[in-house]
Chains A and B, each alone.
Chain A
Amino acid sequence: MGFGDYPAEYNRSIHGPYDPARYYGKPDTPFGQVKLNELIPWLSRRNKSPRAMVAAVSRAWWRWQHKYLHVKRGGIAPFFQITTVAMIWFYTINYGKFKNHRNYKYH
């Protein structure tokens, strides 16, 4: 499979037009329905190649876009979501600097 190709499992005659938010492989148990004792085998079944990880993130991104951004009559919510996530992200990476601005020594 080359760069920019469809997933190997995707077949247009069966699945219809390609949806980048959809997983075309054999679906496993959703993470929310996994019992605690099944968690280890569930994790071991994951495909942990960099390609698969990137694909999973891409699918999640597309799912989010389909739900909030690419709707017919969208709102301001996706922009606030992006802003919030960006705020949390940059706060986290700069936390070492922010820590020095603490007002109290003891809590």
Chain B
Amino acid sequence: MLTSEVNRRKPNEKNGSTGLFNQLSRRTVNRSADKMLSRLALRNAQALPAIAHGAQALSSSSEASNRPVRAEFGGKVRLGFIPDEWFTYFYPKTGVTGPYAFGLGLTTYLVSKEIYVMEHEYYTGLSILLMCIYGVKKFGPAVAAYADKLIDEQITDLNESKNSEIEYYESSIKDEKHSQWQAEGQTLLMEAKKQNIAMQLEAAYRERLAHVYSEVKKRLDYQVQIQAIERRISQKHMSEWIISNVLKSITPEQEKATLQQCIVDLQGLAART
């Protein structure tokens, strides 16, 4: 009986150190949930190196610095198409007017020597150039505004879809954490149920213990009573037997003598008072 009690107590003692109320602390639960998540991520990373590699390429900052960035505006140009670098290249040697002087001088040279021949295509080109300049000056700003609006819309759409995706995943991560926290609560509930059952078992055990005690006591009391009764009966029997025997042994002479003696005694007593 003693060993069974010890065995039954053991699980309770084990749980005693991490009590129900200790575990109820939300912080502990959350931290353990985080740990679980990170451990899960680590395990997945080990299991799926390719995916993890892709994720790293997307997330880590050193990789992000390698990512080419789309320029906001095009390279600076002068006269509509000549790169600004061409002009700045001249500045240290010739000053600010140098590139223009070079261009003009080269054109003059080519034209005057008729290396550049002004045939009919030249005049066609000149008129087309004038039309182009007029068109750019006239319609350029409106087209630019329209294109800017278009690209802004496109980028807003893309960012929106990206952000909504991110939001969705963040919220699902939050939900996942929440459900993990809830699952943690389930273990607490289990714990409580186990404790409850242990308590019930304990109560049943004690009840039975009490029952056994009372039963044993009843039997012992019965034995005691039996013995007492036997003893009483035998005592009674014995005394009755002795009395009857004594009474039987008394003869009438003896009785008479006793009576006489009694009277004498009474007389003696009377005389004294």
Contacts and interface: CB of A to CB of B under 8 A. Distances in A.
Interface of A: 12-13, 15-17, 19, 21-22, 66-78, 80-81, 83-84, 87, 98-99, 101-104, 107
Contact of A77 (B80, B117, B120): B80
B119 interface: yes
Contacts of B103: none
Contacts of A67: 71, 74-75
B71 A98 contact: no
A72 B81 contact: no
Contacts of B5: none
A49 B156 CA distance: 45
Given A66-B71, A71-B72, A76 B136 contact: yes
Given A77-B77, A102-B117, A66 B125 contact: no
Interface string B117-148: 11111000100000010001000100010011
A80 B83 CA distance: 11
Q: For chain B, which range describes its interface: under 10, 10 to 19, 20 to 34, or 35 or more residues?
A: 35 or more
Given A17-B68, A67-B71, A73 B151 contact: yes
A104 B114 contact: yes
Contacts of B148: 73
B112 A68 contact: no
Interface in B76-114: 77, 80-81, 112-114
A17 B70 contact: no
